[in-house]
Structure 1
Amino acid sequence: MPTIVVDVMPKPEILDPQGKAVSSALPRIGIEGFAQVRQGKRFELTVEGEVTDEVLAAARKAAETLLSNPVIEDVVSVAVEDV
């Protein structure tokens, strides 16, 4: 069955305490070279049948109205995952 992947990230102007915690922890475990970490969300929507334009439009609507909080998050992508 096809899967549609929705990626959601905090808007750039929104503080990301989880990303900041990860960014601070990386050097402590010996991983260097990353200036910033932002943490987002990934949703996988399994589709019954074929992924049509209508199904993608429904996934985009779900992403914008239910899967993300448009006040503080951006929907970064809605795409069919290659299996």
Structure 2
Amino acid sequence: MPEIKVKIASPVGLHARPAGQFVKAAAKHGGPVSIARPGADPVDARSMLSVLGLAIGHGEEVVISAEGEGADATLAELSRLVSTVED
């Protein structure tokens, strides 16, 4: 399963609006998508409650993985979402 490590750029971390955008993008992928802190158990990246439950803050590193067709494109999109700050 392809995976990528990225740092969270949002000043509020992966909470509320950034988490919503992340979950929405992950849900578009046809296969399983997960997110985790390095070395921790992954959670379903398509679940808002699971993502918010991680309480990931600004500057923290996460591991995102995706499985199935289009996994690399999904990882690129999700990485871009969490590693950039929107104005």
Q: What is the TM-score with the length of structure 1 in the denominator? A: 0.32
**Structure (1 or 2) with the greater strand fraction:** 1
With CA pairs under 8 Å and 6+ residues apart, which has the higher RCO, 1 or 2? 1
